[in-house]
Structure 1
Amino acid sequence: EKLKQLGGEFPSDLPPLEEISRTLNEKRAELIQLEREKKLLKEQIIGDIPPLEQCREEYEKLKREHKVRELSVRILETARRNITQKILPRTIDHMWRILPLITNDRYRQVDLDAETFKIRVFDERAGDWKDKNIFSGGTRDQMSLALRLSFALASLPQERGTAPSFLFLDEPLSSFDEQRKEALIRVITEGEIAERFDQIFVISHTPLLNPNLFHYYIFMENGRIKECSEELRPSEQGVFL
């Protein structure tokens, strides 16, 4: 009656009072839960933030560490540059001697980039310097092997007896044809490399040429010795000499 006197009336589709009360209570419960979550998040955020003085100390610590790392990088770069400048000329000298032997005198002049150690050789047929990557896979492997051998020789102390007396070559023959294999075997069994190292070990899963080209050889199959040179055969007691 009072609503009508005020010039209004209840909507005809108004839900029951009980339903309105239930919805109101649900919304109040949701609001309380949200307030709790808000409070919890606020406590977590504030609790994870260290005091200002501690932040300043951590900043100074990280700043010092960054400077130390920068200085370390500069020291290492300087050391690398000095080593390269010292070893590079000797490495190139050795390559000028080794590369013709490995390539059967096909390539004789070689140069190395001081920063990247990339190889360039003079191709007499083309009459120009060529990057290593334009050649066949076997030739590229010959050049890379010549670089590794030359670097090993260049980095050894000059006084004999002060350097390692052995050299390991793991799979140096895998991509070589018969002619390249013969050339490599000559290089490591004769001349400067053979003179600088008392022992040279060649590991290969591909059939070698004549095993008698080496002082000693061992053929293994399934982890067991199948054949070896006469000097390495077991004694009567079954002990390898």
Structure 2
Amino acid sequence: MVVGDPCVLLISTFMLSVRDLNVSYGLRPALERVSFDVEAGRLVGVVGPNGAGKSTLVKAIMGVVPRRSGAVLLEGEPLEKVRERVAYIPQRAGIDWDFPALVREVVAMGCVPRMGWLARPARADRERVEAAIERVGLADLAHRRIGELSGGQQQRAFIARALVQQARLFLFDEPFAGVDQYTERSILGIFEQLRDAGCALLIVNHDLGDVVRHYDDLLILRGEVVAYGPREDVFTQANLNRAYLGPVAAV
């Protein structure tokens, strides 16, 4: 790294930088030439049709699926070196809800990236866990098994785990799928608090409902970036038609 290099300084001003990301499943391209930057304090929605690569994008950022090429930087550093600063919450369908863990134990897993699996949580860690459980409205269910909770309650438990991690970047894969309106409002409130605290959030959204209005920026995908930028600039009929290959109503 050369001190004073303007390119380095430009990259380091962003919370997340994705550069020329390419991902394939076998011989089938899933993402091609995906590049974008996310500033701190931004709530970014990722939208597009089924099979557009939305979930693949967040998995590739985290390294859950291999990248054919490309780079991912967090605050100017390769994400692989600072993974503890990133909280990733996958789709509910990809989680084993039969695992015999209590809600409190699941939330406490948010301490692991910082202290490791073998260390015992300190008093401050335990207090952080209880505060996160309270924040998502699960204090009365902390002693229950995670598999006994409703879909919305399970989602809130994993958000509490992410809060305990004290990450700078949050990646959510369809957090609003199968939740009721109360849970949706609760989750949005937490997202907005994290945004206002200077974190960045990248949120895969399956549909184009009212929740889209809460995003600061939108990334519209169809295997590649169709459009990216402030919601009011990119959430247009023309961009949606390009992504969905036909008329789609913009809310």
Normalising by structure 2, what TM-score? 0.38
Q: Which has the higher helix share?
A: 1
Q: Which has the higher strand share?
A: 2
Higher relative contact order (CA 8 A, sep 6+): 2
Q: Choose 1 or 2 for highest CA Rg.
A: 1
Normalising by structure 1, what TM-score? 0.39
